[in-house]
Protein backbone atom coordinates (compact mmCIF):
# COMPACT_ATOMS: atom_id res chain seq x y z
CA UNK A 1 0.00 0.00 0.00
CA UNK A 2 2.91 2.35 0.71
CA UNK A 3 4.25 1.93 -2.83
CA UNK A 4 0.80 2.57 -4.30
CA UNK A 5 0.46 5.73 -2.23
CA UNK A 6 3.90 6.94 -3.30
CA UNK A 7 3.14 6.31 -6.97
CA UNK A 8 -0.23 8.06 -6.69
CA UNK A 9 1.41 11.11 -5.12
CA UNK A 10 4.14 11.17 -7.77
CA UNK A 11 1.62 10.87 -10.60
CA UNK A 12 -0.70 13.62 -9.42
CA UNK A 13 2.08 15.97 -8.33
CA UNK A 14 2.59 16.96 -11.99
CA UNK A 15 0.17 18.69 -14.33
CA UNK A 16 0.39 16.30 -17.27
CA UNK A 17 -2.01 13.62 -15.87
CA UNK A 18 -4.64 16.27 -15.16
CA UNK A 19 -4.33 17.77 -18.63
CA UNK A 20 -4.42 14.32 -20.23
CA UNK A 21 -7.55 13.31 -18.31
CA UNK A 22 -9.32 16.54 -19.25
CA UNK A 23 -8.23 16.37 -22.88
CA UNK A 24 -9.22 12.70 -23.26
CA UNK A 25 -12.68 13.36 -21.84
CA UNK A 26 -13.28 16.57 -23.77
CA UNK A 27 -12.12 15.09 -27.08
CA UNK A 28 -14.15 11.91 -26.80
CA UNK A 29 -17.36 13.22 -25.25
CA UNK A 30 -17.14 16.46 -27.23
CA UNK A 31 -16.84 14.60 -30.52
CA UNK A 32 -19.92 12.54 -29.70
CA UNK A 33 -21.79 15.69 -28.69
CA UNK A 34 -20.98 17.20 -32.06
CA UNK A 35 -22.22 14.11 -33.91
CA UNK A 36 -25.44 14.01 -31.89
CA UNK A 37 -26.08 17.74 -32.24
CA UNK A 38 -25.64 17.66 -36.02
CA UNK A 39 -27.79 14.57 -36.58
CA UNK A 40 -30.96 15.60 -38.35
CA UNK A 41 -34.39 14.33 -37.41
CA UNK A 42 -34.40 12.21 -40.57
CA UNK A 43 -31.18 10.44 -39.56
CA UNK A 44 -31.81 10.09 -35.85
CA UNK A 45 -32.56 6.38 -36.28
CA UNK A 46 -28.92 5.88 -37.29
CA UNK A 47 -27.63 7.26 -33.99
CA UNK A 48 -26.99 3.97 -32.17
CA UNK A 49 -24.80 3.15 -29.15
CA UNK A 50 -22.03 2.12 -31.55
CA UNK A 51 -21.96 5.57 -33.13
CA UNK A 52 -21.53 7.25 -29.74
CA UNK A 53 -18.20 5.45 -29.34
CA UNK A 54 -16.78 6.54 -32.69
CA UNK A 55 -14.19 8.81 -31.07
CA UNK A 56 -13.01 6.57 -28.22
CA UNK A 57 -9.61 6.20 -29.90
CA UNK A 58 -8.95 9.91 -29.44
CA UNK A 59 -9.06 9.61 -25.68
CA UNK A 60 -7.23 6.28 -25.84
CA UNK A 61 -4.20 7.85 -27.52
CA UNK A 62 -4.14 10.70 -24.99
CA UNK A 63 -4.17 8.31 -22.04
CA UNK A 64 -1.40 6.27 -23.64
CA UNK A 65 0.68 9.44 -23.78
CA UNK A 66 -0.04 9.98 -20.07
CA UNK A 67 1.02 6.42 -19.23
CA UNK A 68 4.23 6.82 -21.21
CA UNK A 69 5.10 10.10 -19.50
CA UNK A 70 4.51 8.49 -16.10
CA UNK A 71 7.59 6.35 -16.81
CA UNK A 72 9.80 8.40 -19.10
CA UNK A 73 9.54 11.62 -17.07
CA UNK A 74 11.14 9.85 -14.12
CA UNK A 75 14.02 8.73 -16.31
CA UNK A 76 14.36 12.23 -17.77
CA UNK A 77 14.67 13.97 -14.40
CA UNK A 78 16.50 11.17 -12.64
CA UNK A 79 13.86 10.60 -9.96
CA UNK A 80 13.71 6.94 -10.95
CA UNK A 81 17.07 6.51 -9.18
CA UNK A 82 15.54 7.44 -5.83
CA UNK A 83 12.69 5.02 -6.47
CA UNK A 84 15.05 2.16 -7.27
CA UNK A 85 17.25 2.98 -4.27
CA UNK A 86 14.19 2.73 -2.03
CA UNK A 87 13.08 -0.51 -3.74
CA UNK A 88 16.28 -2.29 -4.87
CA UNK A 89 14.43 -5.18 -6.53
CA UNK A 90 12.66 -2.57 -8.72
CA UNK A 91 9.80 -4.86 -9.78
CA UNK A 92 7.40 -3.95 -6.91
CA UNK A 93 7.85 -0.24 -7.65
CA UNK A 94 7.13 -0.75 -11.35
CA UNK A 95 4.10 -2.92 -10.60
CA UNK A 96 2.77 -0.28 -8.18
CA UNK A 97 3.20 2.39 -10.85
CA UNK A 98 1.41 0.12 -13.33
CA UNK A 99 -1.54 -0.39 -10.97
CA UNK A 100 -1.96 3.35 -10.35
CA UNK A 101 -1.61 4.43 -13.98
CA UNK A 102 -3.72 1.62 -15.44
CA UNK A 103 -6.48 2.16 -12.88
CA UNK A 104 -6.61 5.84 -13.71
CA UNK A 105 -6.76 5.05 -17.43
CA UNK A 106 -9.61 2.59 -16.80
CA UNK A 107 -11.59 5.20 -14.85
CA UNK A 108 -11.14 7.76 -17.62
CA UNK A 109 -12.13 5.13 -20.19
CA UNK A 110 -15.36 4.40 -18.34
CA UNK A 111 -16.11 8.11 -17.99
CA UNK A 112 -15.60 8.71 -21.70
CA UNK A 113 -17.53 5.61 -22.78
CA UNK A 114 -20.52 6.14 -20.55
CA UNK A 115 -20.30 9.93 -20.90
CA UNK A 116 -20.37 9.76 -24.70
CA UNK A 117 -23.41 7.51 -24.64
CA UNK A 118 -25.13 9.59 -21.97
CA UNK A 119 -24.59 12.94 -23.70
CA UNK A 120 -25.97 11.52 -26.93
CA UNK A 121 -29.15 10.43 -25.09
CA UNK A 122 -29.54 13.89 -23.63
CA UNK A 123 -29.12 15.62 -26.99
CA UNK A 124 -31.20 13.13 -29.00
CA UNK A 125 -33.72 11.52 -26.62
CA UNK A 126 -35.62 9.98 -29.55
CA UNK A 127 -32.61 8.12 -30.91
CA UNK A 128 -32.43 4.32 -30.48
CA UNK A 129 -29.74 4.47 -27.82
CA UNK A 130 -31.03 1.80 -25.46
CA UNK A 131 -28.59 -0.95 -24.48
CA UNK A 132 -30.26 -4.20 -25.53
CA UNK A 133 -27.45 -6.51 -26.66
CA UNK A 134 -24.18 -7.82 -25.25
CA UNK A 135 -22.28 -5.92 -27.95
CA UNK A 136 -23.93 -2.63 -27.00
CA UNK A 137 -23.03 -3.12 -23.33
CA UNK A 138 -19.44 -4.01 -24.31
CA UNK A 139 -19.27 -1.02 -26.62
CA UNK A 140 -20.20 1.40 -23.84
CA UNK A 141 -18.91 -0.17 -20.62
CA UNK A 142 -16.00 -2.12 -22.10
CA UNK A 143 -14.04 0.97 -23.15
CA UNK A 144 -12.49 1.21 -19.69
CA UNK A 145 -10.91 -2.24 -20.08
CA UNK A 146 -9.38 -1.23 -23.41
CA UNK A 147 -7.99 1.97 -21.87
CA UNK A 148 -6.54 0.00 -18.95
CA UNK A 149 -4.67 -2.44 -21.19
CA UNK A 150 -3.55 0.32 -23.57
CA UNK A 151 -1.96 2.06 -20.56
CA UNK A 152 -0.05 -1.16 -19.79
CA UNK A 153 1.13 -1.23 -23.42
CA UNK A 154 2.24 2.42 -23.25
CA UNK A 155 4.08 1.95 -19.95
CA UNK A 156 5.88 -1.04 -21.45
CA UNK A 157 7.07 1.03 -24.42
CA UNK A 158 8.15 3.75 -22.00
CA UNK A 159 10.23 1.27 -19.99
CA UNK A 160 11.83 -0.15 -23.12
CA UNK A 161 12.64 3.17 -24.83
CA UNK A 162 13.03 5.38 -21.69
CA UNK A 163 12.70 8.58 -23.72
CA UNK A 164 9.44 10.52 -23.88
CA UNK A 165 9.56 11.73 -27.48
CA UNK A 166 10.80 8.45 -28.89
CA UNK A 167 8.29 6.29 -27.03
CA UNK A 168 5.32 8.53 -27.89
CA UNK A 169 6.27 8.70 -31.57
CA UNK A 170 6.60 4.91 -31.74
CA UNK A 171 3.17 4.46 -30.15
CA UNK A 172 1.43 7.03 -32.35
CA UNK A 173 2.92 5.70 -35.57
CA UNK A 174 2.09 2.13 -34.63
CA UNK A 175 -1.47 2.71 -33.42
CA UNK A 176 -2.53 5.29 -36.01
CA UNK A 177 -0.61 4.15 -39.08
CA UNK A 178 1.02 0.72 -38.99
CA UNK A 179 -2.00 -1.31 -37.91
CA UNK A 180 -4.29 0.45 -40.40
CA UNK A 181 -1.89 0.30 -43.37
CA UNK A 182 -0.99 -3.39 -43.21
CA UNK A 183 -3.96 -4.50 -45.40
CA UNK A 184 -2.28 -2.82 -48.40
CA UNK A 185 0.30 -5.64 -48.37
CA UNK A 186 -0.90 -8.15 -51.00
CA UNK A 187 -2.19 -11.54 -49.86
CA UNK A 188 -0.90 -11.57 -46.29
CA UNK A 189 -1.74 -8.04 -45.10
CA UNK A 190 -5.31 -8.80 -44.01
CA UNK A 191 -4.30 -11.98 -42.17
CA UNK A 192 -1.51 -10.22 -40.29
CA UNK A 193 -3.80 -7.33 -39.37
CA UNK A 194 -6.25 -9.69 -37.65
CA UNK A 195 -3.57 -10.54 -35.07
CA UNK A 196 -2.42 -7.01 -34.28
CA UNK A 197 -3.10 -5.98 -30.65
CA UNK A 198 -5.14 -2.82 -31.15
CA UNK A 199 -7.18 -4.39 -33.93
CA UNK A 200 -7.99 -7.13 -31.42
CA UNK A 201 -8.94 -4.58 -28.75
CA UNK A 202 -11.22 -2.82 -31.22
CA UNK A 203 -12.84 -6.16 -32.02
CA UNK A 204 -13.74 -6.53 -28.34
CA UNK A 205 -15.69 -3.27 -28.58
CA UNK A 206 -17.35 -3.72 -31.98
CA UNK A 207 -17.72 -7.48 -32.55
CA UNK A 208 -21.35 -8.07 -33.46
CA UNK A 209 -22.10 -4.44 -34.33
CA UNK A 210 -24.04 -3.81 -37.55
CA UNK A 211 -21.82 -2.96 -40.50
CA UNK A 212 -23.89 0.07 -41.56
CA UNK A 213 -23.22 2.15 -38.45
CA UNK A 214 -20.80 5.08 -38.33
CA UNK A 215 -19.17 3.79 -35.16
CA UNK A 216 -15.69 2.26 -34.77
CA UNK A 217 -14.70 0.20 -37.82
CA UNK A 218 -15.84 -3.42 -37.88
CA UNK A 219 -13.30 -5.88 -39.38
CA UNK A 220 -14.72 -9.12 -40.71
CA UNK A 221 -13.39 -12.65 -40.23
CA UNK A 222 -11.52 -11.96 -36.99
CA UNK A 223 -10.02 -15.23 -35.68
CA UNK A 224 -11.12 -14.59 -32.06
CA UNK A 225 -14.39 -13.55 -30.50
CA UNK A 226 -14.77 -10.38 -28.45
CA UNK A 227 -13.55 -11.76 -25.12
CA UNK A 228 -10.87 -13.84 -26.80
CA UNK A 229 -9.65 -10.69 -28.53
CA UNK A 230 -9.50 -8.88 -25.19
CA UNK A 231 -7.49 -11.71 -23.60
CA UNK A 232 -5.13 -11.72 -26.57
CA UNK A 233 -4.67 -7.95 -26.26
CA UNK A 234 -4.01 -8.35 -22.54
CA UNK A 235 -1.42 -11.06 -23.18
CA UNK A 236 0.46 -8.82 -25.63
CA UNK A 237 0.36 -5.81 -23.29
CA UNK A 238 1.49 -7.66 -20.18
CA UNK A 239 4.09 -9.56 -22.21
CA UNK A 240 5.61 -6.26 -23.32
CA UNK A 241 5.46 -4.96 -19.74
CA UNK A 242 7.33 -8.05 -18.58
CA UNK A 243 10.04 -7.34 -21.16
CA UNK A 244 10.17 -3.70 -20.04
CA UNK A 245 10.47 -4.76 -16.38
CA UNK A 246 13.33 -7.16 -17.15
CA UNK A 247 15.17 -4.43 -19.05
CA UNK A 248 14.56 -1.93 -16.23
CA UNK A 249 16.11 -4.36 -13.73
CA UNK A 250 19.18 -4.98 -15.87
CA UNK A 251 19.90 -1.42 -17.01
CA UNK A 252 21.43 1.36 -14.99
CA UNK A 253 18.86 3.94 -13.91
* pLDDT exceeds 60 at position 128: yes
Rounded-to-integer distance, Cα 47 and Cα 218, Å:
16
Lowest mean pLDDT among 6-10, 24-28, 67-71, 138-142: 6-10
- Assess contact for 87 and 167: CB atoms under 8 A: no
User: Looking at residue 206, what is its pLDDT?
Assistant: 84
pLDDT in tens, 26-75: 999 999 999 888 887 777 777 888 888 888 889 999 999 999 999 999 88
User: Looking at residue 114, what is its pLDDT?
Assistant: 94
Rounded-to-integer distance, Cα 201 and Cα 86, Å:
36
Which 3 state secondary structure label does DSSP give 4?
A: helix
- Assess contact for 144 and 150: CB atoms under 8 A: no
User: Looking at residue 100, what is its pLDDT?
Assistant: 95
What are the φ/ψ torsions at residue 124 (nearest 5 degrees)? -125, 75
DSSP string, 28-90: HHHHHHHHHHT--TTTGGG--HHHHTTTHHHHHHHHHHHHHHHHHHHHHHTHHHHHHHHSTT-
- Assess contact for 58 and 31: CB atoms under 8 A: yes
User: Looking at residue 190, what is its pLDDT?
Assistant: 75
pTM for this structure? 0.92
pLDDT in tens, 146-170: 999 999 999 999 999 999 999 999 9
- Assess contact for 108 and 25: CB atoms under 8 A: yes
Rounded-to-integer distance, Cα 199 and Cα 222, Å:
9
pLDDT in tens, 186-244: 777 778 888 899 999 998 988 777 765 555 667 777 888 899 999 999 999 999 999 99
* pLDDT exceeds 80 at position 133: yes
Amino acid sequence: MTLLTVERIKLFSTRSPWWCMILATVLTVGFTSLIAATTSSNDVADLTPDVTQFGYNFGLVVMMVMATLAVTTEYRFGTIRSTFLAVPTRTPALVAKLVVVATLAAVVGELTGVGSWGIARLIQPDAPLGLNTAQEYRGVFGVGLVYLLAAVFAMAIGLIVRQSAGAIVIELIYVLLVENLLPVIPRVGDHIQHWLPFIASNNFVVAGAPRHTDGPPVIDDMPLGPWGSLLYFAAVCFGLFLIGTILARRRDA
